[in-house]
Structure 1
Amino acid sequence: MNLESPKINVGKSPQEVFDFLSDVKNFEALMPENISKFEVLEKDKFLFALKGMPEIVLKKKEAIAPNKIVLGAAGGKLDFSLIGNITEIDETSSQVQLEFTGEFNPMMAMMIKSPISKFIETLATSIPNAI
């Protein structure tokens, strides 16, 4: 399953956006209002939970400055990635798109498609105000 957020324009350079997304503690500022838990576990790993959903642990798997950050599931039964793609518009602005990829059975995919789409859209649209 592949889901993409809308492309969001950010009034910061790609490097500034990359640096912000590289620090996992900054993801707390991007979380939706229905977050029930957020905890940094290690320098590159954090746990979060949304009301009514199980806890999810994400770990930074790859960082290609200043264009790409890959977070992946760290443990748990589901294997997925959250990819932040950063594109330069000019020296002082960039465009960010979040991409969610994972292998799920059709029943699970049907159940999580809408909440995950909404979640990555919330994360992406929160970036310009959080940086």
Structure 2
Amino acid sequence: MNLESPKVNVEKSADYLFTSLTDVKNFEKLMPDSIAKFEVLDENAFIFGLKGMPEIKLKMKDKVAPNKVILGAASDKLPFTLTANINSLTPNTSEVQLLFDGDFNPMMAMMIKGPITKFIETLAENMTKL
């Protein structure tokens, strides 16, 4: 299952956004209002929970300065990655798009597609809060 957020323009440099997104504690600022739990586990991992959803542990998988940050699920039960693609438009403006790539059975994919789409759209919209 592949989902894409809308591309969002942010009044920050690509380097600034890359640095912000590689610091996992900054993801708390991006979370939707329905956040029930957010806990940094170490410099590369955090757990978050949204109301009515199971908690998910994400960890840093890869980073390519200053254009890409890849987070992945720490559990094999819900195998997915969340990739932030950062494109520099001007020295002080960047475009960010989030890509969700998960390997789910068709029933699970059907159940989570709506909530996950809304979730990544909210994360992208909140990039301006960094």
Pair in the same fold by TM > 0.5: yes
Match of 1:102 in 2: 102
TM-score between both structures, scaled by the size of structure 1: 0.98
Is there any run of 5+ residues in structure 1 with no aligned partner, and where? none
- SS of 1:107 mapped into structure 2: helix
Identity %: 61
Residue 9 of structure 1: aligned partner = 9
Equivalent position of 2:122 in the other structure: 122
Q: State the match for 1:36 in structure 2.
A: 36
Q: Which whole-Å deviations, capped at 9, do the CAs of 1:41-95 have from their partners, x for residues lacking one?
A: 0110000000011000000000100000000001251100000000010111110
Q: Distance in 2 between matches of 1:94 and 1:53?
A: 31
Listed as ranges, the gaps of 5+ residues in structure 2 are none
SS at match of 1:32: coil
When structure 1 is superposed on structure 2, of 73-82 and 43-52 the one drifting more is: 73-82
Residue 79 of structure 1: aligned partner: 79
Report the TM-score when normalising by structure 2.
0.98
Map Cα deviations across residues 2-56 of structure 1 (whole Å, 9 max, x no partner): 0000000001110001011110000001100111000000110000000011000
**Counterpart in the other structure of 1:69:** 69
- The one-letter amino acid paired with 1:21 is L
How far is 1:116 from its partner? Answer: 0.2
Give me the CA root mean square deviation.
0.6
User: Runs of at least 4 residues of structure 1 off by over 6 A?
Assistant: none
